[in-house]
């Protein structure tokens, strides 16, 4: 046992000695979560628009004023003719042009119907869509005001409630994903590199020749990384909780248990990589290309899986992170208990078991 503790100590020294890597390991998640929380939003405010007012009458001015007073739009310029649209769009300064027809107000009073034209820069489709929706709802309100006093036709009032994330904050989606990536990065990548380093430098032989059992060596090697991974996940959780109000609705014990299960999976992946890779660079490439990138892209961390083509959706099923993210989201944001996530938990447990078996086999083969 004493020997074991000494070995763990050696590992801890190894890790903490590389100050820069430590700084990045702790700095990266903190910087990312702050960025995501504060800077990355899909809420559109102050979108630059141009207005081409051919009517210049009382009604068009009123509607313009209403559009600009909502905070969604900011007036970039008044255009004089349709020819200017193209060049203004090309400068990339505006997102949308609103065109009032010549007799906008007159049409409205005489014919009770007027035409409004919107041209959106759809090179960013979602923004275009959202902006058009904004204009539609503002104009809708405007028309209701105009019709006040008349029987304004049928009204159906929608009442909308956003569940699990009332203010539509992006961080809510991001915290579970970030924890997953960090666990992957620290446990799988760092352990695979640290194990191959011993191999590359030849010190692995020395260790194996020591009276410690191989399994003890491995456990001693990965223990500090497990601790590190936990520590960083806790920092992310706390930041999310205190700075952005990301709740932990479910049971913390269950969350920690799932965390541990996932760490086992990624650790065994890391060990597996280290048994295959000969040099640090190869281990690094394998964990980046084989683990990190697929995890970032296909786990549902940033991009919703439902929208992907079927093939990619199938592939996403063999990525443990996908299941883990579902679990963390459910526990943290929906407050689900084990009865809701047992299926995903079983899948991860299956992965963990499979990878551990595989890496033990590989490891033994290598010894022989």
Q: Is residue 41 close enough to count as binding another protein by CB under 8 A? A: yes
| Positions in 247-276 near another protein (CB under 8 A) | none
How many Å separate Cα 9 from the centre of its chain? 35
Q: Is 142 in the site for another protein (CB under 8 A)?
A: yes
Least distance CB 265 / another protein (angstroms): 22
Q: Distance between CA 122 and CA 142 in Å, rounded?
A: 25
Site for another protein contains 147 (CB under 8 A): yes
Q: Is 54 helix (H, G, I), strand (E, B) or coil?
A: coil
Per CB under 8 A, the list member of 15, 51, 79, 114 interacting with another protein is 114
Does position 242 bind another protein by CB under 8 A? no
Look at residues 226, 211, 204, 173 and name the one whose alpha carbon lies nearest to residue 366.
Answer: 204
Query: Interface with another protein by CB under 8 A: which range of 31-39, 64-72, 250-258, 259-267?
Result: 31-39
> In whole angstroms, how close is the CB of 44 to another protein at the nearest point?
6
Q: Which two tokens stand for residue 96?
A: 């949308």
User: Is the separation of the CB atoms in 183 and 262 below 8 Å?
Assistant: yes
When asked if residue 120 is in the footprint of another protein (CB under 8 A), the reply is yes
CA distance 123 to 121: 6
User: To the nearest 10°, the Cα dihedral for 82, 84, 85, 90?
Assistant: 160
* The token pair that represents 24 in the structure block: 């990045």
333 binds another protein (CB under 8 A): yes
Nearer to another protein, 65 or 90 (CB): 90
Of 273-332, binders to another protein (CB under 8 A) are 280-281, 284-285, 297-298, 302-304, 306-309, 312, 326, 329-330
Q: Does 137 bind another protein (CB under 8 A)?
A: yes
Q: Does 352 bind another protein (CB under 8 A)?
A: no
Q: Confirm or reject binding of residue 340 to another protein (CB under 8 A).
A: yes
CA 236 to each of CA 63, 182, 183, 243, 298: distance values in angstroms, whole numbers, following the listed order: 46, 9, 11, 10, 22
Residue 127 found at the interface with another protein (CB under 8 A)? yes
Give the nearer residue to another protein in terms of CB position, either 83 or 159.
159
Minimum distance of another protein from residue 67's CB (angstroms): 12
Tell me whether residue 120 is exposed, middle or buried, using C-beta atoms within 10 angstroms of its C-beta: 0 to 12, 13 to 18, 19 or more: buried
The smaller minimum CB distance to another protein, of residues 31 and 215, is found at 31
């Amino acid at each position: 046992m004493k020997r074991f503790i000494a070995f763990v100590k050696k590992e801890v020294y190894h890790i903490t000695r590389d100050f820069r890597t430590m700084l990045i390991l702790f700095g990266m998640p903190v910087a990312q979560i702050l960025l995501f929380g504060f800077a990355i939003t899909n809420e559109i405010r102050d979108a630059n628009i141009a207005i081409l007012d051919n009517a210049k009458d009382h009604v068009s001015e009123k509607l313009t004023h209403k559009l600009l007073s909502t905070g969604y739009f900011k007036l970039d310029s008044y255009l004089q003719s349709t020819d200017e649209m193209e060049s203004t769009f090309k400068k990339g300064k505006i997102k949308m042009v609103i065109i009032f027809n010549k007799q906008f107000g007159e049409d409205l009073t005489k014919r009770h119907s007027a035409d409004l034209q919107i041209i959106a820069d759809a090179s960013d489709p979602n923004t275009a869509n959202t902006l058009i929706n904004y204009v539609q709802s503002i104009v809708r309100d405007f028309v209701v005001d105009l019709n006040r006093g008349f029987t304004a036709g049928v009204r159906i009032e929608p009442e909308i409630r956003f569940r699990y994330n009332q203010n539509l904050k992006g961080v809510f989606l991001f915290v579970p994903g970030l924890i997953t990536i960090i666990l992957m990065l620290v446990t799988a990548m760092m352990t695979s590199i640290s194990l191959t380093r011993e191999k590359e430098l030849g010190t692995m032989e020395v260790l194996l020749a020591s009276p410690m059992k191989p399994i003890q060596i491995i456990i001693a090697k990965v223990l500090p990384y497990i601790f590190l991974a936990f520590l960083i996940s806790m920092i992310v959780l706390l930041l999310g909780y205190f700075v952005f109000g990301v709740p932990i609705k479910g049971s913390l014990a269950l969350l920690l248990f799932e965390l541990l299960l996932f760490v086992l999976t990624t650790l065994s992946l890391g060990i597996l990589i280290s048994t295959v890779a000969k040099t640090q660079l190869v281990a690094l490439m394998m964990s980046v290309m084989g683990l990190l990138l697929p995890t970032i892209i296909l786990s549902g961390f940033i991009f919703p899986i439902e929208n992907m083509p079927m093939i990619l959706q199938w592939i996403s099923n063999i990525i443990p992170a996908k299941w883990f993210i579902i679990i963390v989201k459910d526990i943290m944001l929906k407050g689900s208990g084990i009865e809701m996530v047992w299926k995903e938990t079983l899948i991860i447990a299956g992965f963990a078991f499979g990878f551990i078996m595989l890496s033990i086999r590989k490891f033994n083969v290598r010894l022989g």
